[in-house]
Amino acid sequence: MLRPSLRHSVATGAVRAVNRLSRLLSLGSGTVIGGRVGLAIAPDLLKELARGRVVVLVSGTNGKTTTTAMIAAGWGGGVTTNATGSNMPEGHVAALAESRSSSVVLEVDEAWLGEVTRATKPRVVTLLNLSRDQLDRANEVRRIAERWRDVVASERETTYVANANDPLVVYAAELAREVEWCDVPTPWTTDAMSCPHCTQPLHFTVDSWWSECGFKKPDVLTSTLREQLTLGGQSYELHLGLPGEFNEVDAVMALTALCCLDVAVPDALATISALTTVAGRFSEVLWRGHHLRLLLAKNPAGFTAMLATLTTNDDDVWISINARLADGHDPSWLYDVPFEVLRGHRVYCFGDRRLDLAVRLDYARVAYVVVDDESPLPSSSGVVNLVANYTAFQEWREWSVPC
């Protein structure tokens, strides 16, 4: 039997070798299979690889990848991160095996937060939001909140950076020894209409919320986003290269986490503001002569926020919907997205589930075109916004070339 340290060395080497081979053979981005091999050799490999490093974790339904990229950018220097979006332990192991940097920021699938927190003993965990997403895999949102709450209660050395306007996140984080509450716009509260403590209706006003049992929005807020960002008693203007309020929220959560690491806010804000694309999101590409802007939205809260950025004109919009394993096999969520805001636009429907989308748009009284393989597409002079859910987005990235 191999000694633990030798076993970890063998496992780490295996992660690197298998991932390199996977990339060479163009089998994938080389982050999952190597991680799996490494964990098979040494099940506690994640713990071993995280030992002695400063780890930040980011979890939540929406904004994980962007917030993680913002923390990595704002932290500066060589930061180890799982930029490919592989956000389960095999992806974390792969990221940590590839880099020896002492600064680590990892995005974590909501369902895996407990295991990854216990293994990596993070300095900071950022809890963004919780809403309905892929319920065929994750079942119920509140069960995730319960599991987070258990992690927070048991991992007492970690500082939690948490969204004060998401009652399910507050429920998860309220038992923390150290918590920095972020007062950030959180328009999607549909999954938190009843109190997680007493099940009675939660009451919402413009800037607060409470339950009759006493559960309420936290009073002491570390950061607040209104017209300006207030953080640590200072005010800052936000002028991000990334569009939309949801990206501002991610920036505030990232900056609050960076504050916990004693990073200077003005410098971090400048770096974060310079980001214009994250993992292909918001990037402009060419596809068969069409100039497209690739937008990712994969659940009701994310789609609602994304559509709000598209409603300023009556251009054509392309939407691509799949329902594969990574998307969730159930596209029912299309009926939780207010597609009615697209009235006046014409929507071209792509993807495996383009008919489900077309039916949704038809009932919303939005003009639509179902694009089958041979369908002609109109030529457009400007940039067309293409909104795609997870695997559809990956496909469009592969099919297109960057501008």
Partner 1 sequence: MVSSVLKIALVYPELLGTYGDGGNGLVLAERVRRRGIAVELETVGINDQMPAASLYLLGGGEDGPQRLGADLLGRSSFASRVGDGSYVFAVCAGLQLLGTTFAVEGDDEYEGLGLVDARTSRGLRRSVGELVVRVDGRPLVGFENHGGVTTLGESLVPLGAVERGVGNDGVVDGFRTATIWASYAHGPLLAMNPWFADQILTTVLGEELEPLATVADRLYDERVATLT
> Alpha-carbon distance 206 to 371, whole Å?
41
226 binds partner 1 (CB under 8 A): no
Q: How far is the CB of 358 from partner 1 (least distance, A)?
A: 5
Query: Which one of the spans 5-13, 34-42, 129-137, 277-285 is the region binding partner 1 (CB under 8 A)?
Result: 129-137
**Shortest Cβ 334–partner 1 spacing (Å):** 6
Among 332, 311, 313, smallest CA distance to 321 is for 332
The Cβ of residue 370 has, within 10 Å, a number of other Cβ atoms equal to 16
Minimum distance from CB of 10 to partner 1 (Å)? 37
Q: CB of 363: closest distance to partner 1 in angstroms?
A: 5
Q: Is 193 exposed, middle or buried (0-12, 13-18, 19+ CB in 10 A)?
A: exposed
* 210 in contact with partner 1 (CB under 8 A): no
Considering the complex, state which of residue 95 and residue 361 has its C-beta at the smaller distance from partner 1.
361
Cβ proximity to partner 1: between 165 and 247 the closer is: 165
What is the smallest separation between the CB atom of 112 and partner 1, expressed in angstroms? Answer: 19
Stretch that binds partner 1, among 1-9, 77-85, 308-316, 363-371 (CB under 8 A): 363-371
Residues in the chain: 403
Q: Which two tokens stand for residue 305?
A: 């926020």
Sketch the per residue contact string, 318 through 337, with partner 1: x for CB under 8 A, - otherwise: -----------xx-xxxxx-
* Closest to partner 1 by CB, 267 or 372: 372
Break the chain down into helix, strand, coil percent, rounded to 5: 40, 20, 40
Shortest CB 50 distance to partner 1, Å? 32
Is 358 one of the binding residues for partner 1 (CB under 8 A)?
yes
Which distant-in-sequence residues (6+ apart) come within 8 Å of 87 by Cβ? 64, 106, 107, 108, 109, 112
**Tokens matching residue 273:** 């503001």
Residues numbered 291 to 310 that lie near partner 1 (CB under 8 A) are none
Question: What part of residues 153-192 is at the interface with partner 1 (CB under 8 A)?
Answer: 190
Q: Verify binding: residue 360, partner 1, rule CB under 8 A.
A: yes
In sequence order, which residues have a C-beta less than 8 Å from that of residue 29 and are 6 or more positions away? 23, 84, 86
3-class secondary structure per residue, 4-51: HHHHHHHHHHHHHHHHHHHHHCCCCCCCCHHHHHHHHHCCCHHHHHHC
> What minimum distance in Å lies between the beta carbon of 226 and partner 1?
26
Q: Is 111 in the site for partner 1 (CB under 8 A)?
A: no
Q: Calculate the alpha carbon distances from 312 to 239, 259, 309, 322, 337 in Å.
A: 19, 35, 7, 26, 18
Number of residues that bind partner 1 (CB under 8 A): 32
Residue type, 50: A
Contact positions toward partner 1, by CB under 8 A?
132, 135-136, 139-142, 190, 193-194, 196, 199-201, 329-330, 332-336, 355-356, 358-360, 362-365, 368, 370
